[in-house]
């Protein structure tokens, strides 16, 4: 096997907090398994360090990252790019704080969430559109009926000995931009033809995420042309040069800005003809402009010059804005086998004023599925000689339709415009992935219920992914006690 996967992470932390659960300080060290070569490991670690706080204000932070060279295939970029690894470690110690002071994890999470004007550990002051996690959270608590369902879960657990249910809520805050300043730019080429049709070339690659559709919508709105008259040419550097990677969840922002810029140039040239012929169709306007030798092509460009961060001086603005959300998942586990079923997931996501709600909801559902797989069933097994054992579908399990929640409810936060991106929207590619970890923490809650009935109290460590084996061994009883020493 020559292709790498997501970086495995280990987090070692010390956390200071008040008796009421207010976080005061965090000292954390992140270790990533980079594999045998560097690849993108530095950038992945940088994003992980940016996200060790998730949604929470921590006044004193020391965060350090270490890349570990090992005898395995090189780890590389994957959806989330280090952010989910930093956030799941954060949520683990948040849950540990709650267990230590005997409070519900939801209370600790909600009371520590960022508010407008507070500064992150990397010295970026958060604006109103960055701190909507609390709004998503409060709306989710209502729509998911969390309080009543928690009581029903407790009652259900009392009536079932070897099957237990758990319910957990997890928020997320994902910074949006390339952390490398020069990548935050995009170009576009827009041609308008005499028959009223439009051809767009832009710098982004369509890979099923709906990017081309959003570009067509932006051009349709800007030029006031029906979408069926707009076409997209294959992405190519002979049309748009010096393209940035289609990554970081900001391609709608960057390429959309470039397409809009090109369309506005064309609109400016067509404006005299529109004023002189207010009842003419777009095709008629374009024909008149052509006869008057007006250029009907435009090269658009968009950039974010203020984005960039200096790790030496700890200064700069690494992110244009943040995408936030929250999810509640309820699961049922078989304590004798470690098998589990996701009963229901409720999710609220802030995508600003969505460019295309259907596409964004699809991205949220897909991201959640990947996060669910990452934190539960996708266990990468490496042999001592560095050989990967999980090399095919017989050994490596991806989420299937039976792994998805039986009831899956996704809502977009309303009245949350984002003034820093095109048409007040927000990117959505990577941010929802981490919300799949709500299943992981719900599984852990179910394990707590079984352990409690067997006289085992207090916090315990559950590594991700929560495979059937780990779930079974976490449901400690007389049977598992025989193997705990060798298992650990």
Whole-number Å distance between alpha carbons of 82 and 50: 9
- Is residue 378 within 8 A of residue 314, CB to CB? The reply is no
Angle at 342 between CA 47 and CA 370, to 5 degrees: 30
Nearest CA among 453, 467, 443 for reference residue 167? 443
Longest dimension (CA), the chain: 88
3-state secondary structure 233-248: CCCCCCCCCCCCCCCC
Lookup: tokens for 356: 């295309």
Residue of 46, 332, 430, 445 with catalytic role: 430
Nearest CA among 282, 274, 431, 276 for reference residue 352? 431
**Tokens 């170009």 belong to which residue?**
187
Three-class SS state of 18: coil
Nearest CA among 465, 484, 478 for reference residue 6? 465
Write out the H or E segment, with its range, that includes residue 91: helix 83-101
**Tokens 């956390």 belong to which residue?**
15
- Is residue 435 within 8 A of residue 326, CB to CB? The reply is yes
**Residue 76, CA atoms < 13 Å, CB-side half-sphere:** 7
Nearest CA among 195, 207, 199 for reference residue 239? 199
Q: Which residues pair with 329 in a beta bridge?
A: 168, 345
Q: What is the chain's percent helix, strand, coil content, to nearest 5?
A: 35, 25, 40
Whole-number Å distance between alpha carbons of 80 and 98: 27
Residue 469 is a catalytic residue: no
Q: Which residues contact 304 (CB under 8 A, 6 or more apart)?
A: 177, 184, 185, 254, 320
Distances (CA, A) of 234 to 169, 231, 433: 41, 10, 28
- Angle between helical axes of 83-101 and 437-453 (0-180°, round to 10): 30
Whole-number Å distance between alpha carbons of 103 and 349: 26
Report the catalytic residues: 430
């Amino acid at each position: 096997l020559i292709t790498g996967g997501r970086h495995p992470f280990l987090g070692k932390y010390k956390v200071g907090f008040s008796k009421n659960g207010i976080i005061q300080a965090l000292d954390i060290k992140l270790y990533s398994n980079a594999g045998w070569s560097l690849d993108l490991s530095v950038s992945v670690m940088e994003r992980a360090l940016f996200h060790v706080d998730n949604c929470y204000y921590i006044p004193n932070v020391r965060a350090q990252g270490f890349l570990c060279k090992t005898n395995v295939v090189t780890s590389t970029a994957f959806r989330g790019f280090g952010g989910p690894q930093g956030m799941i470690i954060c949520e683990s110690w948040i849950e540990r704080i709650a267990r230590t002071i005997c409070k519900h994890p939801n209370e600790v999470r909600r009371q520590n969430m960022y508010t407008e004007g507070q500064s992150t550990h990397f010295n970026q002051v958060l604006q109103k559109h960055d701190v909507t996690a609390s709004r998503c959270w409060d709306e989710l608590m209502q729509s998911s009926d969390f309080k009543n369902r928690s009581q029903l879960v407790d009652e259900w657990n009392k009536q079932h000995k070897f099957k237990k249910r758990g319910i957990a809520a997890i928020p997320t805050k994902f910074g949006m931009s390339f952390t490398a300043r020069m990548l935050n730019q995009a170009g576009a080429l827009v041609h308008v033809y005499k028959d009223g049709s439009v051809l767009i070339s832009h710098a982004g690659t369509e890979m099923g995420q709906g990017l081309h559709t959003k570009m067509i919508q932006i051009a349709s709105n800007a030029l006031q042309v029906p979408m069926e008259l707009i076409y997209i040419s294959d992405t190519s550097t002979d049309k748009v040069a010096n393209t940035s990677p289609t990554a970081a969840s900001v391609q709608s922002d960057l390429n959309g800005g470039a397409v809009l810029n090109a369309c506005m140039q064309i609109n400016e040239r067509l404006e005299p003809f529109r004023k002189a012929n207010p009842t003419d169709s777009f095709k008629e306007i374009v024909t008149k402009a052509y006869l008057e030798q007006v250029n009907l092509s435009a090269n658009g460009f968009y950039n974010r010059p203020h984005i960039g961060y200096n790790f030496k001086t700890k200064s700069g603005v690494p992110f244009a804005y943040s995408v936030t959300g929250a999810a509640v998942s309820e699961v049922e586990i078989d304590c004798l086998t470690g098998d589990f079923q996701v009963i229901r997931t409720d999710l609220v996501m802030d995508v600003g004023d969505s460019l295309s709600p259907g596409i964004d909801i699809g991205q949220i559902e897909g991201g959640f599925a990947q996060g669910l797989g990452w934190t539960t069933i996708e266990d990468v097994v490496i042999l001592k000689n560095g050989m990967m054992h999980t090399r095919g579908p017989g050994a490596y399990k991806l989420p299937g339709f039976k792994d998805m929640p039986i009831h899956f409810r996704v809502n977009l936060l309303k009245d949350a415009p984002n003034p820093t991106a095109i048409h007040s929207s927000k990117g959505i590619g990577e941010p929802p992935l981490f919300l799949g970890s709500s299943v992981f923490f719900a599984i852990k809650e179910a394990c707590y219920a079984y352990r409690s009935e067997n006289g085992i109290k207090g916090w315990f460590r559950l590594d991700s992914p929560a495979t059937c084996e780990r779930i079974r061994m976490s449901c400690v009883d007389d049977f598992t006690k025989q193997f705990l020493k060798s298992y650990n």
